[in-house]
Amino acid sequence: MRRAAPLLASCWLALGGLCWSPPAGAQPADRPEAGHDRPRYNLEEQPDVQANLRNYCRDRVPAGWWCEDPVKLDYAYKVVIHAPLGWRGDPYGAVLNFCPPADDQVWRNLDLLELQPNWNNVLGALVTCRRE
């Protein structure tokens, strides 16, 4: 019995030590120091699609024309473009020329854009612009 007591005590301490030791990931020596080797997160700001569309309309639409604020649809953004009073021509054809080129800033985080002409307070057919 005397020999069994120290053996049981050492087993008890060994098992207790395994149960009560801190996890390996929580060891202070294993933690990254002050930003070194920490995982990098995407800290870059996401582009504001509506602001990009507003800037595009401001820069691209000719004098006298104006754009309403972009409206987010389930599948795209829609912008209504107003032709000036007294303007003569095909509003659908004119709006076709307003589709952004493939390398434009507008296409960041945007795959589909719908433009709709408004001429003499009459909405025209939708023009669908796609990034290609």
Q: What is the mean pLDDT of each run of 10 residues along the chain (132 residues)?
A: 57 55 55 57 72 92 92 94 90 90 88 93 93 82
Q: Which pLDDT value is given to residue 87?
A: 87
Q: Which pLDDT value is given to residue 109?
A: 84
The continuous run of DSSP H or E covering 56 comes out as: helix 49-60
Q: Which pLDDT value is given to residue 132?
A: 78
Q: Which pLDDT value is given to residue 68?
A: 95
Residues 42-51: contacts with CB within 8 Å, 24+ apart?
46/109, 47/105, 47/108, 47/109, 49/77, 49/106, 49/108, 49/109, 49/110, 50/77
Domain boundaries, the chain: 65-130
In this prediction the pTM is: 0.64
Cα 89 to Cα 58, 68, 73, 93, distances in angstroms: 21, 21, 29, 8
